[in-house]
Amino acid sequence: AANAQSAPSEARERHAELAELLDEANWRYYVLDSPTVSDAEYDGWMREIRALEERHPDLRTPDSPTQRVGAPISSDFPEVTHLQRMESLDNAFSQEDLAAWQARAQRLIEADPGPYLCELKIDGLAVALVYEKGRLVRGATRGNGRTGEDVTPNVRTLRDVPQRLTGDDVPDLVEVRGEVFLPVKGFEQLNEQLMDAGKAPFANPRNSAAGSLRMKDPRITAQRPLRMIVHGVGKWEGTTPPATQSEMYERLASFGLPVSDRYKVVETLDEVREFVEYYNDHRHDPEYEIDGVVVKVDRVPIQRQLGSTSRAPRWAIAYKYPPQEVNTRLLDIQVGV
Ligand code: NAD
C-alpha cells in the first residue's frame, strides 16, 4: 500500500532528478527551440514522474513539471498576461485511454458527453491572437499558460492571420487560439538552407515553427513560410459566444480566420475511433505534420461543466500516434550522435 504521509528518500531523490531533467528539457525545447532529447524520452520521464506522484502524493507539489504548462519564458520578448489561461492537453495512447477519458467525463456530468469534434493535432506552437473591435492588437505565445511572449510584430507577418476581421457579428473583444506551423516542405527547405549555411537544422517541424516565429527580427519571420490554423477561443465579449465547438469554427471562418477543413463532428466513441484510425493510415495527407488527433466535447456548456485540471481541460484529449523516425534522425544530426 502507498504511504501517503511522506515518500521514502529514494523516491524523493528520483523525483528531484526527473524534475530537473524535465525542467532542463523544457528550457531547451520551449525557450531555445532546440531539444537535446527525443520526445519519446521526454514522455518516458513524464510517465515515470507521474507514476511516482501517484504512489507518493506529497511529491505532487504545485511546482512539479506534471502540474505546469510549458516553460519559463524567454527574456527576448515582452511578457503578456493572457486574458484567459492557455492550457495543454492530456494524452491518450490507446483505445482504452480514450474510453477511460470518455467514461470519466460521463461520470462527472452524469450524461453522455457526446457529440465529439475530432480534428488533427497539428505539430506546431500555440499562439493567442487578440482582436479588439475586429482589429488585431496582439499575438502571444502560450509560455507558461498564464504569461506568454508578446510576438505581435512577428505574428503580423503571417499571411493566414488577418489584420482585421470581417462580417457583421464580430465580437468587441475576442482571443483566438491556434497553431502556428511550418508545412513539411517548408521545414525541409529551411533545414537545407540552414545546413548549407553551416548552421544547425531544427529537430522537427514544431521546433522550426517555434524558432521561426520567435525571431528577434520579424523580417526573418516574414521570410519563413509559416501558416496558422485556429482551434479555440479564450475571452469573447460583445456578441453571443458560440454554443458548440463546430459553430465556433464556422463563425471564426466567417470572420476570415484560418480554420481547418479536416474536422468532423461525430456522435459516438466508435466514430471517434474511426477518425483516429483513418488519420493513422493517412498521416501524410495534410501538408503539415500531425502527431495525433484531438477529440473535443462539442457542446460548450458541457465543456464548462467539465472544466480543467491544473494544466489541461477535461473536455478534450489528444490521441497521440507513435513518434516518427525522421525526427530522431534529424535530432541525431543536431546533437552530433
Ligand atoms: P502537447 O503538444 O502534447 O498538446 C497541447 C498542445 O497541442 C496545445 O497547446 C496546442 O497548441 C496543440 N494543438 C495542436 N493541434 C490542436 C488542436 N487541433 N486543438 C487543440 N490544441 C491543439 O502538449 P505541450 O504541453 O505543448 O507539449 C508537451 C509535449 O511536447 C511532450 O509530450 C513532448 O512530446 C514535447 N516536449 C518535448 C521536449 C523534448 O525535450 N524533446 C521538451 C518539452 C516538450
Q: What is the pLDDT of residues 65-86, one digit of tens each?
A: 999 898 777 788 999 999 999 9
The answer, yes or no, to whether any atom of ligand 1 lies below 6 A from the CB of 119, is yes
Strands annotated E in 184-252? 227-237
The answer, yes or no, to whether any atom of ligand 1 lies below 6 A from the CB of 122, is yes
- Ligand 1 atom nearest the C-alpha of 43 is 32
Cα 70 to ligand 1 centre (Å):
9
Please tell me the residue having the least CA distance from ligand 1 atom 13.
121
- CA–CA dist 147, 86 (Å, integer): 9
- Ligand 1 atom nearest the C-alpha of 296 is 19
What pLDDT, on a 0 to 100 scale, did the predictor assign at position 167?
Answer: 95
81-85, 104-108, 157-161, 333-337: the lowest-pLDDT one: 333-337
- CA–CA dist 297, 317 (Å, integer): 9
- CA–CA dist 86, 146 (Å, integer): 7
pLDDT beyond 70 at 334: no
Handedness of CA 325, 328, 333, 336 (dihedral sign): negative
CATH 1.10.287.610 fits 9-67, yes or no: yes
The answer, yes or no, to whether any atom of ligand 1 lies below 6 A from the CB of 230, is no
- CA–CA dist 132, 126 (Å, integer): 20
- CA–CA dist 171, 173 (Å, integer): 5
Cα 291 to ligand 1 centre (Å):
9
Q: According to CATH, where is 1.10.287.610 located in the chain?
A: 9-67
Say how many Å lie between the first and final Cα of the chain, rounded. Answer: 43
pLDDT digits over 203-217, tens only?
999 999 999 999 999
pLDDT digits over 270-296, tens only?
999 999 999 999 999 999 999 999 999
What percent of the chain clears pLDDT 70, i.e. is strictly above it?
94
Residue 153: is the preceding peptide bond cis (ω within 30°)? no
* Entry pTM: 0.92
Residues 93-121 have a mean pLDDT of: 97
Residues 35-43: contacts with CB within 8 Å, 24+ apart? 35/203, 35/207, 35/331, 36/334, 36/335, 38/323, 38/327, 38/328, 38/331, 39/323, 39/327, 40/323, 40/328
**Residue carrying C-alpha cell 480566420:** 257
Q: According to CATH, where is 3.30.470.30 located in the chain?
A: 79-335
Please tell me the residue having the least CA distance from ligand 1 atom 8.
88
pLDDT beyond 60 at 193: yes
pLDDT digits over 204-263, tens only?
999 999 999 999 999 999 999 999 999 999 999 999 999 999 999 999 999 999 999 999
- Ligand 1 atom nearest the C-alpha of 125 is 11
- CA–CA dist 139, 84 (Å, integer): 14
Burial level of 297, CB count in 10 A (0-12/13-18/19+)?
A: buried
What pLDDT, on a 0 to 100 scale, did the predictor assign at position 6?
Answer: 81
Q: Is 230:258 a contact under the CB 8 Å cutoff?
A: yes
The answer, yes or no, to whether any atom of ligand 1 lies below 6 A from the CB of 231, is yes
The answer, yes or no, to whether any atom of ligand 1 lies below 6 A from the CB of 126, is yes
40 annotated ligand-binding residue: yes
Q: Which residues participate in catalysis according to the annotation?
A: 121
pLDDT beyond 60 at 173: yes
Q: Which amino acid is at 156?
A: R
ipTM of this complex prediction, to 2 decimal places: 0.96
- Ligand 1 atom nearest the C-alpha of 25 is 40
The answer, yes or no, to whether any atom of ligand 1 lies below 6 A from the CB of 278, is no
Strands annotated E in 173-262? 173-181, 227-237
Please tell me the residue having the least CA distance from ligand 1 atom 37.
39
42 annotated ligand-binding residue: yes
The CATH superfamily assigned to 79-335 is: DNA ligase/mRNA capping enzyme (3.30.470.30)
The answer, yes or no, to whether any atom of ligand 1 lies below 6 A from the CB of 289, is no
What pLDDT, on a 0 to 100 scale, did the predictor assign at position 5?
Answer: 64
